[in-house]
Amino acid sequence: MFLSIFDIFKIGVGPSSSHTMGPMVAAAMFLNDLRGGREKEPGAGTVAALQATLHGSLAFTGKGHATDRAVCLGLAGFVPETLDPVAAEAALAAMRAEGQVRPDALPELAFHPERDVLFDYDTTLPGHANGMVLRAYDQTGALYMEEVFYSVGGGFVLRGSEIAAADHGGAEAFHDEKAAQGYPYPFGSAAEMLEMGAASDKRISEMKHANERVHGDPDAAIARVRDVMFACMDRGLGTTGILPGGLSVKRRAHGIHEALKAGQGLNLSQPHEVNDWLCVYAMAVNEENAAGGQVVTAPTNGAAGVIPAVLRYYRDHCIGATEAGEREFLLVAAAIGGLIKHNASISGAEVGCQGEVGSAAAMAAAGLCAALGGSNAQVENAAEIALEHHLGMTCDPVGGLVQVPCIERNGLGAIKAVAAASLALRGDGTHLMPLDNCIETMRQTGIDMSHKYKETSLGGLAVNLPEC
């Protein structure tokens, strides 16, 4: 599968790409199945009722990530990119009152959120930690249709029949597939990316742009992704209050931002204050995400603040920043994100937060390095530095919510990304540990990591709370 920049950067809603957006997308896919795309069970009558069962990480942190709400909305016909919050709340209220959903081109179907969304905490489906089963029944109560879906991170969804086919075939298989599809620079590894760049005398952004042009000019859509990122950040910077979910976490981005602005031009700030700007940009995005607002997966919702924060840092703080540089930043970041997803994972439920904030930091470091004029070798080095220093990071959200430690963690990920880009730009691109090896290390570490630390809220910070 060719991973476009728009696969990596999806416009959707919070709080989680894998636990909110993915299940909503899966439910919408199931509706399409019911509309005639797939065969029903032999002997089944007319479809009359729906049911969803959440397994593994989707069950353990489903309430905190609003997975049940997302499934309900998906079965009502909503999709993340065009979700209208007012219409969504009205649909949920109607579902609870009437025990029915009315998706387009289907009959009224019996479905009540509290009765028909089940949480199976005992069974993890074999394909991925984020598994769910959607079922439809006929008017007699007999099974009409059943499908297994896996939300594999970043809003990507695979059917049970597709999960085995999605196993990594290595860079060579990826190269052959992309070449066959007509992509001029079909790199499936960082080594191939550098080799193709050297052979063609092109920058990583130029190769990625050429690949994207196979499907048309991407520039307007890239600009929209950037604008949605910044709009999300601006909403976060301008909003106060308490985040939903019961932890009573206060929004802090607005207050910190106001204090930073008040101190500008007074020559009273410490040199390290730039870190506060990076943190506040990232925190603003992740506070919006935690509140269920519109956000761009980058590459996931839980890590959605790192890349916008570093991009804003480039635009507002770096000398010589341009719109062309912003576009190069996002193209290169997406190229690195595609390599990580193909060769390892961006799913916290699969490899921990090293796959979310770690991947985002690597992508942001590479993007900033490129936008500041770094060579291909320096860009690869920047990504490796940032990823290397997130290896082993657990995903242990308190209360199953993307608030603690997620919001601050994005700020620190942004700081590491800028430091990695700067360090790479001080060198000539040569370094000991290749990015490919670092990505493989992350994959192996994820396999070895206990499930307690992979988005289940069964270990780490999630179970070490103040008693007061």
Task: Please check the confidence at residue 166 and state whether its pLDDT lies above 80.
Answer: no
In residues, how long is the chain? 468
Task: Please check the confidence at residue 416 and state whether its pLDDT lies above 50.
Answer: yes
pLDDT tens per residue across span 233-274: 999 999 999 999 999 999 999 999 999 999 887 877 889 999
Task: Please check the confidence at residue 337 and state whether its pLDDT lies above 60.
Answer: yes
Give the whole-angstrom CA distance, residue 299 versus residue 87.
27
**What local confidence, expressed as pLDDT, does residue 264 receive?**
87
**What local confidence, expressed as pLDDT, does residue 168 receive?**
46
**What local confidence, expressed as pLDDT, does residue 2 receive?**
72
Give the whole-angstrom CA distance, residue 389 versus residue 379.
16
Give 169's pLDDT tier (boundaries 50, 70, 90): very low
pLDDT tens per residue across span 170-223: 455 555 565 558 999 999 999 999 999 999 999 999 999 999 999 999 999 999
Nearest to 67 by CA among 259, 387, 349: 349
**What local confidence, expressed as pLDDT, does residue 308 receive?**
98
Give the whole-angstrom CA distance, residue 417 versus residue 401.
24
Q: What is the mean pLDDT of the chain?
A: 94
Task: Please check the confidence at residue 316 and state whether its pLDDT lies above 50.
Answer: yes
The percent of residues above 90 in pLDDT, for the chain, comes to 90
Q: Report the CATH number of the 16-163 domain.
A: 3.30.1330.90
Using CB atoms within 10 A of its CB, is residue 357 exposed (0-12), middle (13-18) or buried (19+)?
A: buried
Give the whole-angstrom CA distance, residue 149 versus residue 129.
11
Q: What is the largest CA-CA distance in the chain?
A: 78
**What local confidence, expressed as pLDDT, does residue 1 receive?**
45
Find tokens 């992509």 and name the residue: 183
pLDDT tens per residue across span 441-458: 999 999 999 999 999 999
pLDDT tens per residue across span 35-84: 987 888 988 899 999 999 999 999 999 999 999 999 999 999 999 999 99
Nearest to 308 by CA among 289, 290, 291: 289
Query: Which whole-number Å values give the CA distances from 374 to 336, 379, 426, 428, 454, in the listed order?
Result: 15, 6, 10, 9, 34
7-26: average pLDDT: 96
Q: Are strands 109-110 and 117-120 parallel, antiparallel or unpaired?
A: unpaired
Query: Domain spans of the chain?
Result: 16-163, 170-463
Contacts of 284 by beta carbon, 8 Å cutoff, 6+ apart:
232, 233, 234, 235, 236, 237, 253, 254, 257, 305
> Amino acid identity of 4?
S
Task: Please check the confidence at residue 126 and state whether its pLDDT lies above 60.
Answer: yes
